Amino acid sequence: MNELTRIALVTGASRGLGLVIARVLARRGYGIVIGARDRAALDAAAAELSAHAPAVLAVAGDVTDAQLRENLIGAARQLGGLDVLVNNASELGPIGPLSAFDVPRFGRLFPVNVGAPMALVQLALPLLTGRRGLIVNITSDAAQAAYPGWGPYGATKAALELLTRTLASELRESGVSAVLVDPGDMRTRMHQEAFPHEDISDRPLPDVTAPFWNWLFDQAPGAMSGQRFAAQQEDARWLQQA
């Protein structure tokens, strides 16, 4: 396969926010590698993205599986390299008070939300370094606010935030950049599954973040490294950083 000009990898890209990000990248001419657990949904996303992207490779599996991560990076290598890595795959888990939280459940939340992104970064670094690429880790305001019931999920995102800022510092001389993006409260399947009896129709769809992603991918990665952005911030603070 001929080497493409720009290549991106997005996890959790079969629906919701991940698919919105992949759409933005596809329409900007990126070759795309997408990953998710649901093969049927992933194939449908790949078919849609192929109408815009010069190449789309879909790799199905659980991001906590080391072989799946190897396959994702192998797909990026097949396309010719990697410019953007978006660690979007995440698990919210049950919402409830810490006093009743099933502590062994951390054995799932931390590997998905923290361990897998860091392992994928390690595998991707040789490709990202070659192109002075950008790592985008998806966070949440739950990482910074003590919302009742959100403690376990918030703890994983707080850990990811610290690791991302550390990465930005450690990788600066290599030319690889790392940023955090809080997409804000949205109407997604993950959110609905956490609150099965709640009406979340008042939340915006993930498409509301598309202007931010278009802005982000216009920026020079090195000038942003280590920063945290709020994609739905009403005062458009991120636009003022351009």
> Which residues are the active-site residues?
153
Of 29, 67, 71, 26, residue with least CA distance to 46: 26
Q: Are 135 and 82 in contact (CB under 8 A)?
A: no
| Residue 11, strand partner residues | 35
DSSP β-ladder status, 134-138 and 56-60: unpaired
Q: Are 217 and 29 in contact (CB under 8 A)?
A: no
Distance from C-alpha of 84 to C-alpha of 207, rounded to nearest angstrom: 20
Helix, strand and coil content of the chain, in percent to the nearest 5, comes to: 50, 15, 35
Angle at 127 between CA 71 and CA 77, to 5 degrees: 40
Q: How far is CA 82 from CA 27, 110, 204, 205, 215, in A?
A: 17, 25, 31, 28, 19
The half-sphere exposure of 136 on its side-chain side, counting CA atoms within 13 A, is 29
Distance from C-alpha of 108 to C-alpha of 96, rounded to nearest angstrom: 16
Token pair 């670094």 is found at 125
